[in-house]
Chains A and B, each alone.
Chain A
Amino acid sequence: MAIKGYYGKLLDINLTTGEINKAVIPEEDIRRFIGGRGLGTKILWDKLPGPGVDPLSPENALLFMPGPFSGLPIPSSSRTCVVTKSPRTSAVDPKFEKGSTISYSNMGGFFGPEIRFAGYDGICITGKAKNPVYIRIEDDKVEILDASKFWGMGTEEFDNALIEELGDRKFESTYIGPAGENLVPMACILNTAARAAGRGGTGSVMGSKNLKAIAIKGSQSPQLGDHKSYLELLSKVRKSFRDDNKESLKWWRYGGTANALASSSRNGTQAVKNYSEGTFTDIEKIGTEANREKIWKRDFACFSCALACKKSGIAKGSYSVMVHDGPEYETGTMLGANLLISDLAGLQKLIAVADDYGIDIISVGNTIGFLMEAYEKELIDKDYLDGIDLKWGDVAASLEMMHMICKREGIGEKACNGVKFMANEIGQDSHEFAIHVKGHELAAWNVPVNSDYWSITYATSNRGACHMNGGSPERQDQAALRDSLAACNFASRWYRDDLSYAKFLTSITGIEWTEEDFNKAGTRIFNLEKMFNYREGFNIKDDVLPPKFFENKFTVGDHKGAIVDKTIFNRNIKEYYKLRGWDIKTSKPNDNTLKDLDLEFTII
């Protein structure tokens, strides 16, 4: 009998052999790692034969992990975490040729809940199919089906084609686009043609398995440990979403994260011109108001969510395009402000094309920004870029580069590997402005203003630079917990005190989760990821910031002159290791720390 609130079941599919197993997830693992990101990492740890596995080889495992909240109508708590070994990261001093970090990336939408409705706590894909396939799951019935006719199809077209093939609109699905099929390392996985597990190259791992899509529906429900108290909590939290934090609710519905485009720019925390500036003077042209006025038609919510931060509409002007989601803060910054693009229809076109190919917009925007800077500095010329005149603010040139990258044509064959790779290719000290950590590009929050927070956030994130990581051990552990429950960061303010996540988890499992137990689980999950990386050869040399932040001063806006102080960063990171109970010379978690967290099995 599984722990209450779970099925204790992993749908384990080997695409090489076609074997389909409904494997038992050890009770102890569920207790220690909860679900989603945490449980996914533990399963991955067990699945891999050891460090150094090629992320794009059949041995790598690709996990789709809902959490214990997924599929229950607990508001804004049904995300899906994709966990795998990253095809994006590499150590400064590689211990293994294919050594790379953990990768986790989570998406909203409707896929995770449906995994739970079908009676599973997760799906694990290993191996590699001979030909393109998709997987169709209806409760116990699991089929691996031919997807040859869909191979090469953009996500926009495929989203409808798959539903037509299935003949049932109640299936939920997740899939890759051509970028994933082409093994573009920064490819992502999407659902509903827009919501993406964007980061960490999840899509190329899926592509390497010849897996185009998973479609799933189901009729199961788990049994809860304390059903009655769950119902009480549910009714209280629903009331709280009606009555409390009304301004916040309004903020999310009005603009979603796009609201931060203007405020972040004002505060000097935006990635502008390949992180040279923190403020974009043209930000209003692509901000919430402009979109409300010209583009957005409707707000959309994920499963059982009241925030509805996804915006859809239609862009007309320099380009005409259906807008499924955008801009939000990350996409608007990385393909807008960071490239000095302020043509709103052009920006929407870039976002739509990226989503259609299925590529991580953060990484591709960062990479195009890097190339623009190298081109401006004349480290590379037009010939090097296959004739693309890659100037700041140029939509057509950016679009062309996007196509090349996603198709791996010409310069795109190199550029699709991201900025760390390109800096090695271009040389001439271009690594100084290659904005990545561990090979993973930074996201849309710039570092110098609030540098104490952002430098720790990026330098210490386990998947390589990650804006969702948090700038202190406590915040990182809370993020790891949310990603493990499947809860949404944007709604976390509703889950406090009497309505804490720990209280919900207690009612679901019937096992008393004190705040202390709960927080400790977050620390445990984060440390497991850290040990995954340490085993792969990542250490203190990899917890760094790109040199640009120590050398470049902002020249625009209220925060003119902002820069990161290297001495302070070095002091902060030592302090961080101490708080973590990690060795300040190597960054390795101390054995006692690991033992205290029930992570003996990771001690090396």
Chain B
Amino acid sequence: MNDAKKYTRRHFLQDIAFGGGGLIIIGTYGFRILKDNSQNLIKAISVNFEKCAGCRTCETACSAFNNPILIDGEKMNSLGNPHYSNIKVYHFNPDIDIPVTCALCEDPPCINACPVSPDLITGRKALYRHENLTIINDPERCISCMQCAKACENLRGGVIHPNPETNRPEHMCTLCDGNPQCVENCPFGALEYIEIPADRELANLAPAKIAERLIEKLYNLNV
């Protein structure tokens, strides 16, 4: 399995370097589908960097749904200030926009890094994978050490950040009760909610790394 991964990573880099055919459409590349420990297929948000136009509608939709407000006792979408969204779009110059969201990784470094010992009954750490595959923080057991955020930052997209008030990790993807609002509202069809192929992790890099590679491919004056 490790060999397969290495091969894929090299192949990916070659594609970028030589500009050959390697559309970075995560999800249409590779064969193996990710599974969690219980062998459930992992469905998550897949970004098509070719299509994203950087409008940040996904941020507003995510924020509005995941931070609802009460109006006359009724729970409703908020106005969706992107500050609170789980998905983040980063602008880069030369022009490229990189949406980054929690990948619900097959081997979540965030959970692996959580130092809180597993609960004897549920087997859950303070950060754990829910039956619906999302990554959940248990605020009662969490010790705010932020090892999860560091692991995500160092090994994956760097999406987890502490809540400034509670100091608990946030911005893990919730999948919006099974109907991800970023996908639903993207005007460009750049986001999909699909079973994630094994090579997804290759693109699940820090936004600056993804940008660097795309910029080299798109805007190289010397090619």
Contacts and interface: CB of A to CB of B under 8 A. Distances in A.
A227 B54 CA distance: 27
A320 B55 CA distance: 28
Contacts, number: 103
A495 interface: no
A308 B53 contact: yes
Contacts of A160: 93
A147 interface: no
Contact of B95 (A170, A300, A305): A300
Given A221-B79, A222-B79, A304 B57 contact: yes
Nearest to B55: A301
Contact of B83 (A219, A299, A320, A324): A219
Interface residues of A, number: 45
Q: How large is the interface on B (under 10, 10 to 19, 20 to 34, 35 or more residues)?
A: 35 or more
A217 interface: yes
Interface in B22-63: 53-57, 60-61
A210 to B, nearest CB: 25
B78 interface: yes
Contacts of A377: none
B16 to A, nearest CB: 15
A100 B67 CA distance: 48
B55 A170 contact: no
B18 interface: no
A443 interface: no
Interface in A195-250: 217-222, 224, 227-228, 231, 238, 241-242
Contact of B221 (A298, A300, A301, A320): A320
Contact of A219 (B71, B81, B187): B81
Given A217-B83, A300-B54, A73 B96 contact: no
A298 B218 contact: yes
A306 B187 contact: yes
B81 A220 contact: yes
A231 B77 contact: yes
Interface in A112-148: 117
B57 A73 contact: yes
Contacts of A279: none
Interface in A554-597: none
A117 B81 contact: yes
A304 B95 contact: no
A241 to B, nearest CB: 6
B94 to A, nearest CB: 6
A308 B55 CA distance: 8
A320 B74 CA distance: 57
B71 A227 contact: yes
Nearest to B83: A219
Contacts of B93: 156, 159-160, 192-193, 324
B166 to A, nearest CB: 15
A546 interface: no
A299 B92 CA distance: 14
Contact of B185 (A218, A238, A303): A238
A323 B170 CA distance: 37
A126 to B, nearest CB: 29
A261 to B, nearest CB: 21
Interface string A430-457: 0000000000000000000000000000
A238 B54 CA distance: 17
Contacts of B61: 73
Contact of B60 (A73, A241, A297): A73
A306 B61 CA distance: 14
B95 A298 contact: yes
B90 A322 contact: no
Nearest to A226: B71
Nearest to B97: A300
Contacts of B88: 170
Nearest to B64: A73
B55 A218 contact: no
Given A220-B81, A301-B53, A303-B55, 14 more contacts: A73-B60, A110-B56, A117-B81, A159-B93, A169-B91, A192-B91, A219-B84, A224-B79, A228-B76, A231-B76, A300-B97, A306-B188, A308-B53, A320-B221
5 contacts: A217-B83, A298-B53, A305-B187, A306-B187, A322-B221
Interface of A: 71-73, 75, 110, 117, 156, 159-160, 169-170, 192-194, 217-222, 224, 227-228, 231, 238, 241-242, 297-306, 308, 312-314, 316, 320, 322, 324
